[in-house]
Every structure is written in structure tokens, then in C-alpha cells.
Amino acid sequence: MSKKITKSFLTFLTRAGIRLQISGPSAWTDESILKTSRIVLRSRIDLLSGDYTNFDEYIQHLDSIVIDDPLVSARGESCPEEIYDRMLETYAKFHERNITPPYPFPYENPIPRGSCHLKYFLSFLQSLGLRDRDHYLSSRSWFGRNADLQINTLQLALQGKARRIDVYSDFDEQITTLLHET
């Protein structure tokens, strides 16, 4: 693993509020980065911070963590994406016209619908070459609420394919195609 990727990944963890103290050398691999990212992105609870006597002890702890799939209720809203987005669009139209909506929006915060660590995760992906300068992905509910899509994007980035990702295209189809390339 390159020093640049490792440093960027540790920056992501620090910004996400994860405090790892690992004595001795750390041998970050694609697999350990993917596993760690999956846990950070799928849980609002810090399951990783701690003092570890060595990197192997950290990996043992990492492997012991079980997260149910999908952990939607802990990461975002549990209603179907299409209904949520339609409701948000309708609500936004009331505000655009300076009209008080006849009902309150049923969710506390309609904007950050995904992982609470998504902003820092996207910064990490950008450091690996993902071109998302206008932060398009951070405003897309289909990306913010889909940890599998986030992890698949990270997997591509770790394979050096981040620059080939067009964030404005049919993202899911594109990611699937790139993952299955030989």
C-alpha cells in the first residue's frame, strides 16, 4: 500500500472521529481498508477506536465486528429512496415559492441522508483520483444511503480506476461494469 493512500486513509479516519493507536508498524492492505471503511460507513457508533498493541490485534478486532446488512435505520432514512426523494422534492417546491408546507417534513434533517462520515470518505476517494469536484455524490441520496455502492467505489479507487468513474453517468451500472473488468 502506498504511503500516500495510507496517509489519506488515516486522515479520513481521523476526520471521521476514529482514534486508532496501533503500536509498531501498520500494514494496511486493500482488504483492511475496505473492512475498516465498511464499518465506519455503516455505523454511527465508533466501533474501532482504541489502543492496540500491534496491527494484528487491530485486525483481529476488525474481524470480530459484525454489522447487519443493511443497517439503513442507523445510517439514514428507512423509507424507499424514490418515495423519500419525491417527498423531499415536493417539500422543496413549497419553500421555493415561500409557502409554508401544509405538513411538516417527517424527517429531522432532509439533507445528510447517508453516513455521518460520508463527507470525509468522499475526500479520501478524491485523494485516490475520483473526480467529484462539485461534490455531486455527497448530495445524491442513492449514493449517500448505499454503503455497498460506497464500498464498491472505494474498491475501484484502490484498484487505480477512480479516474475512470464518471459521477454523472448511470453510476451503479458503471461501477458494476468496472468491477467486473479483467
Contact at 8 Å (CB) between 14 and 21?
no
Q: What is the mean pLDDT of residues 123-145?
A: 86
At residue 42, the pLDDT reads: 77
| 158: amino acid identity, one letter | L
pLDDT band, residue 1 (cuts 50/70/90): low
pLDDT in tens, 61-108: 999 987 755 444 444 444 555 666 777 778 778 878 888 877 776 654
Say which residue the cell 501498520 belongs to: 26
Please state whether beta strands 20-22 and 50-52 pair in parallel, antiparallel, or not at all (unpaired): parallel
Nearest to 146 by CA among 71, 90, 79: 71
pTM: 0.69
Say which residue the cell 461534490 belongs to: 135
Domain segments of the chain as ranges: 3-72+113-179, 77-112
Q: What is the mean pLDDT of residues 47-55?
A: 95
pLDDT band, residue 36 (cuts 50/70/90): very high
pLDDT band, residue 12 (cuts 50/70/90): very high
Lowest-pLDDT choice from 53-67, 100-114, 154-168: 100-114
Strand ranges (DSSP E) for 56-178?
A: none
Say which residue the cell 496491527 belongs to: 55
CA 34/CA 152 separation, integer angstroms: 9
Beta bridge partner(s), residue 52: 22
Percentage above 70 pLDDT, the chain: 82
Lowest-pLDDT choice from 29-38, 43-52, 98-107, 119-128: 98-107
Q: What is the mean pLDDT of residues 35-62?
A: 90
- DSSP three-state, residue 21: strand
At residue 52, the pLDDT reads: 97
